[in-house]
Structure 1
Amino acid sequence: MGFRVIKTAAATLLSILLAAAAGIPSAQSAGLLAILGVETTRKRSLRTITARFSASLVGLLCGIVLFYLLGFHYWVLGLYVLFGFPLIVKAGFKEGIVTSSVVVFRVFGQAELSLHVLLQQIELLIIGLGSAGLVNLIYMPQGGSLIAGIRKEVDSQFSVIFKQMARTLRDPLLVWDGKELIGASDAIQRGITASSREMENHVIHPDEAWNVYFYMRKEQLESIQNMMQLLSQVYRQLPHGDMVADLFDQLSGDVLAEEYTGRTEKLLDKLEQEFQEMELPGTRDEFEVRSAILQLCRELALYLKIAKRHKVPVEIKPARRSERLRGQG
């Protein structure tokens, strides 16, 4: 927000100076248009400026018709709001209602319908909105380091979650508040917001790697929540639980690794084969717990498939994408 204020100040000053140099009366109006045109991303800025300029042309046309037919009276401005605003919204330029009002009210203030006055308003729009667009295009803060920090936070939260799941399997009486689940969810949402903003700052060839990563983690978090429900059904310690705990210990390290190692997946396949060779449960309690553990393994397999679905093969992956999609375990 602080940097946006600086950009707004720069765009406002630039537009006023240009409007004054062009000899436009009340050059400060260009500053108001510039304030309305400054946005948080380049793409959003282009969309906003286009919408505001188009809305202003529609509003200007409506105002000219009303002033020509009814004259320059205050009640005519009320009619402009009554009929002009719905027309602008219907045209799909509702973002530009305020901008259009600026130029229409300027025409009213000059109480003159002439080609010179109309061209002046268009020139004012170009200067005001153009200054905002220029400032936005020249520089936008890069969010790469911020997003990388959020990614590390998410990976760390996942790592702790898997460690706690391993501890719970070894000791079902262990009490865990699960605060890392909330922390991971919050970090993922912040990451999605930041990565979307970063994409909108690249008008040509936006990099979607960060967005893919955080949406992958969001999907995986849903899988983890399913695992937690199954884990709550493991109310006694069994050797099977200890074996699966080793998987989660491995995964807690893999999730921090540079690449998807596949080690947990191989261990899981091997473990499922060992389960098939074991004797059937002898009691109902053992059956219920082993059933929950087996379902937990299947949910873990789904978690790993989500990572593989979004992962580019290491041998052909570009270095930049490799760096951004690290830790997909």
Structure 2
Amino acid sequence: MGFRVIKTAIATLMSILIANAVGIPSPQSAGLLAILGVEVTRKRSLRTVTARFFASLVGLLFACGLFALFGFHFWVLALYVLFGFPLIVKSSFKEGIVTSSVVVFRVFGSGNVSLDTLLTQIELLVIGLGSAMIVNMIYMPTGGEQMMDIRKKVDGLFAVIFSHVGRTLRDPNYIWNGNEIIEAGKAIQSGAQASNRAMENQLVHPDEAWNIYFYMRREQLDLIMLMMQIIAEVYQKLPQADLVAELFEQLSGDVTVEQYTGRTEQLLSQLEQDFKKMDLPTTREEFEVRSSILQLCRELSLYLKIAKKNKTSVPEPEKTRAFFL
């Protein structure tokens, strides 16, 4: 059973009990309004409840005008739908079309347009939507544990990817299907969605750390896919490829370490200096392959810079003070 279903049940029961205690006829209508008002985040709840309340007021006033002019006939309801819905949309309250229809149909069912009827519908709106708002505001899951699990999964997939990259550099004939890249992309997207929900549950000073983390991983995954295109051009086994393979093997271990170690960055810097001291290529094929290897090192350097730049942004509650590589 989803958490939203539990919140909806609580809000529905609370609104019906309050409406019944106040003495409003058909108190179950308040429960229906509460169902429409329950949302997955606090900020979305504020937007939704506000839109539904004011949309209902606009629709209620417009419908009462129609009922006063033409009476309580079924075709008048069609007029309300035909002209009232566009009016609500133009008023920027399109999320409240269904809610407004609930109160309008209640007025139609009563067959009476009076101040007492209007006040009763407004009371229903306040009780129903207010109950949903209260339930939404009382508690919302932080999602911290979920995002931590996703992060561990992403880091593990990155480790496997780098291990395959190292093996490919050592053996150009090695075949890898790249499934981990697809899985990492899905996990990052799932984590980004979870972090957005978490931010919408923080009304004051929202923590953007998780958003930054998954955005960083998205950037790094883009670089990894670019690296894979470059690696495809390393069609010949060379000593330089073995040296770069060591970097990715080191990175495969560092990516799951809690802090940014800088070991791969130091090795890469030293390797770039060593490359400058090596003899120039003697064949065209060697030149092409070594050029690809050098470009691969440059992309790896960009990857490490992204990690280093964002290393202090992991949320404190999870006791992780640095982003992974």
Q: Same fold (TM over 0.5)?
A: yes
| Cα root mean square deviation, aligned | 1.5
Q: How far 1:322 moved relative to its partner?
A: 6.7
Matched position secondary structure for 1:258: coil
Provide the C-alpha distance between the structure 2 equivalents of 1:289 and 1:3, rounded to a whole number of angstroms.
55
Name 1:113's counterpart in structure 2: 113
Provide the C-alpha distance between the structure 1 equivalents of 2:319 and 2:265, rounded to a whole number of angstroms.
20
Q: How far 1:285 moved relative to its partner?
A: 1.1
Q: How far 1:167 moved relative to its partner?
A: 0.8
Q: Does the 8 Å contact 2:311/2:323 carry over to 1?
A: no
Name 1:264's counterpart in structure 2: 264
What are the residue-to-residue correspondences of 1:69-80 with 2, within 5 Å? 69-80=69-80
Matched position secondary structure for 1:49: helix
Name 2:194's counterpart in structure 1: 194
Matched position secondary structure for 1:323: coil
Name 1:48's counterpart in structure 2: 48
Q: How far 1:321 moved relative to its partner?
A: 8.0
Match of 1:323 among 315, 320, 324: 320
Deviations 1:177-199 (A, max 9, x none): 11110111111011011111111
Name 2:223's counterpart in structure 1: 223
Q: Does the 8 Å contact 1:46/1:133 carry over to 2?
A: yes
Q: Does the 8 Å contact 1:199/1:207 carry over to 2?
A: yes
Deviations 1:254-309 (A, max 9, x none): 21111112221121111111111111001111111101100100111111122233
Q: How far 1:77 moved relative to its partner?
A: 0.7
What are the residue-to-residue correspondences of 1:43-192 with 2, within 5 Å? 43-192=43-192
Deviations 1:57-103 (A, max 9, x none): 11011111111221211111111101100000011111100000011
AA of the residue aligned to 1:323: T
Runs of 4+ in structure 1 deviating by more than 4 angstroms, as ranges, are: 317-322
The answer for unaligned runs of 5 or more in structure 2 is: none
Provide the C-alpha distance between the structure 1 equivalents of 2:152 and 2:312, rounded to a whole number of angstroms.
20
Name 1:301's counterpart in structure 2: 301
AA of the residue aligned to 1:207: D
Matched position secondary structure for 1:168: helix
Name 1:289's counterpart in structure 2: 289
Name 1:17's counterpart in structure 2: 17
Q: How far 1:320 moved relative to its partner?
A: 4.5
Matched position secondary structure for 2:257: coil
Deviations 1:196-253 (A, max 9, x none): 1111111222211111101110110000000000001111111100111111111111
AA of the residue aligned to 1:127: I
Name 1:214's counterpart in structure 2: 214
Q: How far 1:311 moved relative to its partner?
A: 3.2
Provide the C-alpha distance between the structure 1 equivalents of 2:246 and 2:6, rounded to a whole number of angstroms.
53
Q: How far 1:141 moved relative to its partner?
A: 2.3
AA of the residue aligned to 1:9: A
Provide the C-alpha distance between the structure 1 equivalents of 2:234 and 2:171, rounded to a whole number of angstroms.
10
Q: Does the 8 Å contact 1:192/1:211 carry over to 2?
A: yes
Provide the C-alpha distance between the structure 2 equivalents of 1:68 and 1:240, rounded to a whole number of angstroms.
86
Provide the C-alpha distance between the structure 2 equivalents of 1:80 and 1:38, rounded to a whole number of angstroms.
26
Name 1:245's counterpart in structure 2: 245
Provide the C-alpha distance between the structure 1 equivalents of 2:199 and 2:5, rounded to a whole number of angstroms.
21
Q: Does the 8 Å contact 1:210/1:324 carry over to 2?
A: no
- Sequence identity, in percent? 67
Deviations 1:113-143 (A, max 9, x none): 2111111111100000011111111112231
Matched position secondary structure for 1:259: coil
Provide the C-alpha distance between the structure 1 equivalents of 2:203 and 2:52, rounded to a whole number of angstroms.
19
> What is the count of residue pairs matched by the alignment?
325
Provide the C-alpha distance between the structure 1 equivalents of 2:77 and 2:258, rounded to a whole number of angstroms.
63
Name 2:32's counterpart in structure 1: 32
Return closer, same or farther for 1:321/1:2 CA change in 2, 3 Å cut-off.
closer
Q: How far 1:310 moved relative to its partner?
A: 2.5
Provide the C-alpha distance between the structure 2 equivalents of 1:323 and 1:133, rounded to a whole number of angstroms.
33
The answer for unaligned runs of 5 or more in structure 1 is: none
Provide the C-alpha distance between the structure 2 equivalents of 1:205 and 1:286, rounded to a whole number of angstroms.
55
Q: How far 1:53 moved relative to its partner?
A: 0.4
AA of the residue aligned to 1:140: M
Does the alignment pair 1:7 with 2:7? yes
